[in-house]
Amino acid sequence: MDFLNSIILLTNFIIVPGITYGSQLALGAIGVTLIYGVLRFANFAYGDLMAFGTMVVILMTWYLQSKGISFGLLPTALLALPIGILLTIAVSLFFDKTVFEYYRNKKSNPVTFIVVSLGIMFVLNAVVRIIIGPNDINFMDGHKFIMKAREFKQLTGLNEGLAIKSTQVITLVTTIITCSILFYFLNKTKTGKSMRAYSNNEDLALLSGIDPKKIVLITWVIVSILATVAGTLYGLDKSFKPFTYFNNLLPIFAATIVGGIGNPLGAFYGGFLIAFSEIGLTYAYKKFFKYIMPESLEPSTLIQFISTDYKFAISFAILIVVLIFRPNGIFKGKVI
Amino acid sequence: MIKNIDFRICFSVMTILTVLVGLFQSWGIALSMLNLCLISAVMAMGVNIQWGFAGLINFGVMGFLAIGGLATVLVSVPPVHEAWSAGGIGILISGLFLAAVVISVFMINKKLSKHKYKNYFVFLIIILSIPLLKFIAGPSISKIESINAATSGFLGGANLPIIFSWFVGAILSALVAFVVGKVCLGLRSDYLAISTLLVSGIIITIVKHEEWLSRGVKNVIGLKRPVPYEVNLQESEWFINLVQFFNSSKLSNVLDPEVKISLLNQLVISSSGVFVKLCFSLIFLVVVFVILYFSEKALNSPWGRMMRAIRDNEEAARAMGKNVVKQHLFIFMLGSAIIGFAGAMLVTYDGLFTPSSYQPLRYTFLIWVMVLLGGTGNNYGAVLGGFVVWFIWIQSAPFAMVVINLFTGHLDETSYIKDHLQNSVPYFRYLMMGLGLLLVMRYRPKGLLPEKVIKN
């Protein structure tokens, strides 16, 4: 019984939140890695692009709610998602046309790209704050819990409860759907293959008659979809605050590099690796050991490796460790 | 387009603009803007040394500024004796332990540099040291934080004049930069950018959450000053005489002696604030000139030439026998020291240390905008960038207000859109910065004052 309790405890506090957070990071990291691979720079405006997409979704949600439209048990935000995606695509393409295209044609060095992405970061940051403000916004509606801790306890008769929020299931399902479509597209379709070819070797791809403009366009479309979906899922699960979205950029970058730059599958696993390390290393295991240890050996301290405040340090440590031991990432990425 | 703007013209324009602000808004605003411009100029020079001279991307500016700010607390605040006697020994022991860990990591790196499992040893030591450190320091920390939690709850500082803290801040920053540089500088440019950004996040977290050290989010207020206080000025004879002397024409117009005294009182109160700011401006000006002088000397010395050579072609410089790794580390420490110095100046000027106010957009990327806009690799450019960007940063809110009123003038006072836009005025400065950066990068990629190419 104690053993079962301890398992449930870990599932409730590490596995379920880890899968959710990991999915959100993974979606974000795939976006960053695609930009890295195809357009060849680290896009610092990505966090604010996520915030922008989520903002549109929130505004649309409010509009739908004011019209009395809802999605039943599911959050209304899912209905608003397509509009958010469309507008985010429009914004991405606008910035690509007005800003990035010029430097791409000039073949500027990656640092110049980073710097102009900073400029776009400032602009998007301002736009989001001017339109929706800098405050915390909770836009989750619909059914909150699929399984409440109390219900689970009554159902199984265990001491520990297992709570599953509907946003956690939505996140997982959406991630599975999005990633399956994406990987099918990248690996099986002609356009996806040409995209990978372009990312692998630009000159050879051009020689084979691949149209770079089309590749860039498709990349921005995919990236905008991923950014909006990841941002909305994160916002539904926690809450929407522009500053948090900027901060999420750091674990997303770490996940991208850990997984190997330009490698979408690597970024996917990287997201989960970062999420599970963050949650696993900041969790206090006192209760867990209480269940599995004999009473005489019960721990007196919290048994927490590092305090929750230092979760940045975990991303950083993983990043540095990976860069020292495997400079190209765990799943071999490429060096651009 | 003008190819080469003379830096003297730029600075004259900035001076005139500051004077105009003084005339049309108030001298207090103009001087506080000038002071922050000067501090920004120091920060920009620090980043310029790293990025302009050596091509190192440091997105951790915020972290080094916070270290400088922490130095002001550690140097100038009086020590809390109860806290020292309660947990001082524990903290000292854990400090020694931390130093031992760092030194042993470096020793392993040096002695076993060829060993196959060197990295694993280092990894193991760090992993083991974190719980151990927590175990050693934990009880003392909770003891310290429980003493007078509302007013102190930290160890305090050394009770020295605050001006020392500027140098301590620089030294601390350089030490941290040494450790960070050892770990990160070998990385490629974009990896370096991301890891330094992460490092600055970690530094801010430490400053925010280690309350025994910095009071964390409870802030430290009422720091010392290197200049007189307004209250003391208002009571001192010479200052009142000075105010009388400067406003003699205004005062002589007033005949009634009672009105005259109350007017004089008002003038003394308002000019005491201005006088304090003026003192700060003088000190900051000296700092800017000294750093500018030495940066220019360094840039034009053989060492500066070598740095540019390393920046422009690392392989060639290496082939000529230059130790690129060592020089990179040195310049990273130097630049970070200047940034730390500026951080201490900033906190001294504010008079309070608020760890939660450090945000990357304001304290990292804004400084970068200053350097890029002013002119990469040109010290005058960095100073000018500090001035221009801070000027726009401050003046964009009133400007945006004017524009909003212009466009929403026909709307009702209670109009939702007008109200919403007026509330979001502070964020227009981000928009200005972004657009400014994008325009400069497009049409003047080397900045307002481009780097001078010295040909022999």
pLDDT, tens digit, for every residue of B113-154?
777 777 778 778 888 888 888 788 887 787 777 777 667 777
B285 touches chain A (CB under 8 A): no
Q: Return the pLDDT at A335.
A: 42
- Residue A28 tokens read as 């974000």
Chain B residues with CB-CB distance to A130 below 8 A: 421, 424, 427-428, 431
Q: Return the pLDDT at A20.
A: 93
The pLDDT of B92-106, averaged and rounded, is: 86
**Rounded Cα distance, A34 and A38, in Å:** 6
Q: Which helix (DSSP H) or strand (DSSP E) does residue A164 occupy?
A: strand A164-165
Chain A residues with CB-CB distance to B421 below 8 A: 130
Lowest mean pLDDT among A22-31, A324-333, B175-184, B350-359: A324-333
B372 touches chain A (CB under 8 A): yes
Question: What is the distance in angstroms between the Cα of A119 and the nearest Cα belonging to chain B?
Answer: 4
C-beta atoms surrounding A294 within 10 Å = 6
- Condensed to tens digits (0 to 9), the pLDDT of residues B288-347 reads 999 999 998 988 899 988 988 888 888 888 888 888 899 999 999 999 999 999 999 999
Lowest mean pLDDT among A218-227, A236-245, B120-129: B120-129
- Condensed to tens digits (0 to 9), the pLDDT of residues B305-316 reads 898 888 888 888
Work out the mean pLDDT of chain B and round it to a whole number: 85
Give the nearest chain B residue to A324 (CA atoms): B119
Q: Which has the closest alpha carbon to A199: A138, A266, A296?
A: A266
- Residue B153 tokens read as 């709850």
The pLDDT of A81-96, averaged and rounded, is: 94
- Residue B353 tokens read as 């240390």
Chain A residues with CB-CB distance to B427 below 8 A: 125-126, 129-130, 134
Res A305 pLDDT > 80: no
Q: Is A333 exposed, middle or buried (0-12, 13-18, 19+ CB in 10 A)?
A: buried
* Residue of A98, A316, A318, A319 to mutate when probing chain B, most B C-beta within 10 A: A316
Phi, psi (rounded to 5 degrees) for B161: -55, 140
Does the distance separating the beta carbons of B189 and A110 come in below 8 Å?
Answer: yes
Q: How confident is the model at residue A336 (pLDDT cuts 50, 70, 90)?
A: very low
- Condensed to tens digits (0 to 9), the pLDDT of residues B381-439 reads 899 999 999 998 888 888 888 888 888 777 777 777 777 888 888 888 999 899 999 99
More confident residue, B150 or B109: B109
Cβ pair B429, A132 in contact under 8 A? no
Give the nearest chain A residue to B433 (CA atoms): A122
Q: Return the pLDDT at A180.
A: 93
**Rounded Cα distance, B359 and A246, in Å:** 10
**Rounded Cα distance, B140 and B94, in Å:** 10
- Condensed to tens digits (0 to 9), the pLDDT of residues B165-214 reads 999 999 999 999 998 898 888 887 888 888 898 889 889 988 888 878 77
Q: Which has the closest alpha carbon to B157: B81, B87, B218?
A: B81
Cβ pair A57, A131 in contact under 8 A? no
Q: Give the nearest partner residue to B434 out of A110, A123, A253, using CB atoms.
A: A123
B369 touches chain A (CB under 8 A): yes
Residue identified by tokens 């900033």 is B346
- Residue B349 tokens read as 């000027």
Long-range CB pairs of A192-197 (<8 Å, 24+ gap) are A195/A38, A195/A219
Q: How many alpha carbons lie under 13 Å from residue A270 in its C-beta half-sphere?
A: 35
Provide CB contacts within 8 A for B443, sequence distance 6+. Answer: B1
The pLDDT of B101-121, averaged and rounded, is: 79
Does the distance separating the beta carbons of A320 and B431 come in below 8 Å?
Answer: no
Give the nearest chain B residue to A95 (CA atoms): B438
B437 touches chain A (CB under 8 A): yes
Residue identified by tokens 């940051």 is A125
Q: Is B111 exposed, middle or buried (0-12, 13-18, 19+ CB in 10 A)?
A: exposed
Q: How confident is the model at residue B456 (pLDDT cuts 50, 70, 90)?
A: low
Chain A residues with CB-CB distance to B209 below 8 A: 307, 309-310
- Which of the 8 DSSP states describes residue B338? H
Domains by residue range for chain A, with CATH: 2-136+146-325 (1.10.3470)
Does the distance separating the beta carbons of B434 and A316 come in below 8 Å?
Answer: no
